[in-house]
Amino acid sequence: MSKRDYYEVLAVSRTATEDELKKAYRRAAQKHHPDRNPDDKAAEANFKEAKEAYEVLSDGGKRRMYDQHGHKAFEHGMGGGNSNAGAGFGDVNDIFGDIFGDIFGGGRQRAPRRGADLRFVIELDLEEAVFGVDKRIEVPSLVACKPCDGTGAEDRKVETCKTCQGHGQVRMQRGIFAVQQNCPTCGGRGKSIPNPCKTCHGNGRVQEDKVLQVKIPAGVDNGDRIRLSGEGEAGPPGAPAGDLYVEVNVNDHPIFQRDGNDLYCEVPVRFSQAALGADIVVPTLDGEALIKVPLETQTGKQFRLRGKGVKSVRSHGHGDLLCRVVVETPVNLTSRQRELLKDFEQTFEGEGARHSPRSSGFLDGVKAFWDRMTS
């Protein structure tokens, strides 16, 4: 059976670069590798075909001969005299090391993994969130062991692992197959500790409550996060620490509600004040302010005090304070007050629509509704 064109086998163009060839071969080898396709003769054949194609095309001399003569270049010893014969096998082994690393979890040496990032939720009162505050927090964390200074060694002496020569990984080769895996002696760190620390048992880290002072900027809100670089978990020996993310949770306030940089509050007024108008003192976060309630004010009317809200944590602007008037019905009336109210109520007889437009409109609406229901 005639052989397929090597470029077709690897699904690359005839102008493919060395890097493109390597990537194409790696894809084909991963797809058809016998370990991934046990007892599949077709996959085994495709695997061998891809390997043969890559061995030729990855070698500059062999590729030029193949481009000129095709498969005939390697029949009857035509390619035997090439001084670069077999030059592609080093790359083949590298690729197989990558493939087996993907399959079995090995791979090239990696730098020590940094410590884990941590999250801490801090509770703030509204005033603390608005004006900023310094807070002391305690965070359970893995910290560098003090007796060994995070080295994991009692005498702080760390040696290069003799098994992997400091690479952290060992390579097992059988023919053209190469497998890389973490060094069984040092666990992939590339270092060995002849005299482990008695406190951390060679880990270089211990569990501890880390005490920190956190500066909360003015204007933070629910869900805002403050990143403290390097204040997360300590990394293994030789690795940096993670980061700490302090997440803000603002407690409910008895007077104010917050929406972005604006504050809202309800201001109760007596119905006589609402009817006749009055100057009402209202609270703000930095003192008191005066609002002028005009005569005949209804419940729900809103007054805006500009700049009395929250200073934005991301800009120089301030929000506003919005005060909503709530007309309050008096309670615990004296007999004199009740009599006065009765006399006052009698003055509305026959003039309800004039003095209570909303009530009159409501009653008209109810009457129209019943007329429709009964017609």
Q: pLDDT tens digits, residue range 92-144?
A: 444 444 444 444 444 444 556 788 999 999 999 999 999 999 999 999 998 99
Task: Tell me the pLDDT band of 211, cut-offs 50, 70 and 90.
Answer: very high
Q: Which of 9-18, 80-89, 268-277 has the highest mean pLDDT?
A: 268-277
Higher pLDDT, 3 or 331: 331
Show the CA angle centred on residue 119, arms to residues 114 and 121, nearest 5°.
Answer: 165
The reply to whether 118-158+193-250 and 257-331 are identical in fold is yes
- pLDDT surpassing 70 at residue 351: no
> What is the per-residue DSSP string for 184-251?
TTTTTSSEE-SSB-TTTTTSSEEEEEEEEEEEEPTT--TT-EEEETT-SPPPSTTS----EEEEEEEP
Exposure string over 127-150, b if 16+ CB within 10 A, otherwise e: ebbbbbbeeebebebbbbbeebeb
* Alpha carbon distance 71, 3 (integer Å): 8
- pLDDT surpassing 80 at residue 200: yes
Q: CB under 8 Å to 157, separation ≥6 — which residues?
A: 193, 194, 195
pLDDT at 356: 65
> If you average pLDDT over residues 354-369, what whole number do you get?
62
pLDDT at 81: 41
Helix (H, G, I), strand (E, B) or coil at 336: helix
- pLDDT surpassing 90 at residue 362: no
Task: Tell me the pLDDT band of 310, cut-offs 50, 70 and 90.
Answer: very high
Q: Are 180 and 108 in contact (CB under 8 A)?
A: yes
CATH code for residues 6-104: 1.10.287.110
- pLDDT surpassing 90 at residue 363: no
pLDDT at 35: 75
The token pair that represents 95 in the structure block: 């690729």
Q: What is the per-residue pLDDT across 146-198, written as a single tens digit (0 to 9) for each?
A: 999 888 888 888 888 888 887 878 877 665 566 777 888 777 777 888 889 99
Tell me the domain boundaries of the chain: 6-104, 118-158+193-250, 257-331
Identify residue 169 by its one-letter amino acid code: Q
Q: What is the per-residue pLDDT across 244-276, written as a single tens digit (0 to 9) for each?
A: 999 999 999 999 999 999 999 999 999 899 999
pLDDT at 101: 47
Task: Tell me the pLDDT band of 78, cut-offs 50, 70 and 90.
Answer: very low
Specify the fold of 257-331: HSP40/DNAj peptide-binding domain (2.60.260)
CATH architecture of 118-158+193-250: Sandwich (2.60)
- pLDDT surpassing 60 at residue 82: no
